[in-house]
Amino acid sequence: MADVVLTEVHGKVGLITINRPEALNALNNDVMDGIAKAIEGFEADDAIACMVLTGNEKAFAAGADIAYMKDFSYVQNYKSNFITRNWESIRSARKPVIAAVSGFALGGGCEVAMMCDIIYASDTAKFGQPEIKLGILPGAGGTQRLPRAVGKAKAMDLCLTARMMDAQEAERAGLVSRVFPADQLMAETLKAAATMAEFSLPVLMMVKESVNQSFESSLSQGVNFERRLFHSVFALEDQKEGMAAFVEKRKPAFKNQ
Ligand code: HXC
């Protein structure tokens, strides 16, 4: 059986590809364990600065695997810590993770994309939370992250009607950062990831942490959090190097220190 999650390294970027094309990349435990393991590996690797999570042209992921999940019981879900156990690895990654989405990103697929820090989409992408059609609700953060991304009006519309939203609408609504022609999605995503990878890694991680803090706190707490980090970066060699390079009109050579 083919690996359901593939990894590759492109310079300082770790690429993670969901590989269950026969089921439109439906997410079962093997897939989620594979993603968690890949993220864990790239997080621990000092040569990697950020990650890209992708699927194939037809589907990023058409949701959690319905056939696999249909007979689950409450007690089994609770005892196995379903979702929290392995899906949350995406959320807890400290290096940036970019979702590169082509085709369907539905249900758990949309939720996985939203756990990432940036969503780049191809013009074929379709997003939605169609769980209600199955007699369930989104369970991997969809009812929480979608309204934060697109506002209550559109989130309610998507979750309650189960309709799909195309890439252009998703970009207008603020879910998607940029839309590219399908055949350019991966090149453009890797280009953006490579740009990030050239910066100071600890600062890259701090920027991610600080932006995420804006969703977890009041404005004054968030600004205070940012201020503390800002003060602290002056302890980094990379701050001295970055500013010296600007003044000396040369490219900085960051050492991630
Ligand atoms: C299991 C799936 C699947 C899924 C597609 N497949 N989505 N299998 N779980 N979520 C399988 C189909 O059964 C089929 O297998 C093959 O992939 C191709 O799918 P088709 O339906 O034939 O393709 P198409 O006609 O193009 O329709 C595409 C589609 C449709 C509109 C995306 O597949 C669809 O509605 N899928 C389900 C979407 C969904 O409800 N997602 C939310 C799931 S619940 P065979 O063997 O027949 O070829 C969820 C909860 C998350 O995500 C909460 C956290 C866990």
pLDDT at 1 over 70: no
Any ligand 1 atom below 6 A from CB of 67: yes
Summarised one tens digit per residue, pLDDT across range 184-199 is: 999 999 999 999 999 9
Would you call 119 exposed, middle or buried from its count of C-beta atoms within 10 A (0-12, 13-18, 19+)?
buried
Residues 52, 15 contacting (CB under 8 angstroms):
yes
Closest C-alpha residue for ligand 1 atom 15: 23
Summarised one tens digit per residue, pLDDT across range 36-91 is: 999 999 999 999 999 999 999 999 999 999 999 999 999 999 999 999 999 999 99
Prediction pTM value: 0.97
Any ligand 1 atom below 6 A from CB of 63: yes
Q: Are strands 5-10 and 13-18 parallel, antiparallel or unpaired?
A: antiparallel
How many CB atoms are located within 10 Å of the residue 157 CB? 14
Measured from the CA of 133, which atom of ligand 1 is nearest?
40
| Residue 25 identity (one-letter amino acid) | N
> CA–CA separation, 146 vs 124, rounded Å?
20
Strand arrangement, sheet containing 118-122 = 5-10, 13-18, 50-54, 97-101, 118-122, 178-180
Closest C-alpha residue for ligand 1 atom 45: 23
Any ligand 1 atom below 6 A from CB of 120: no
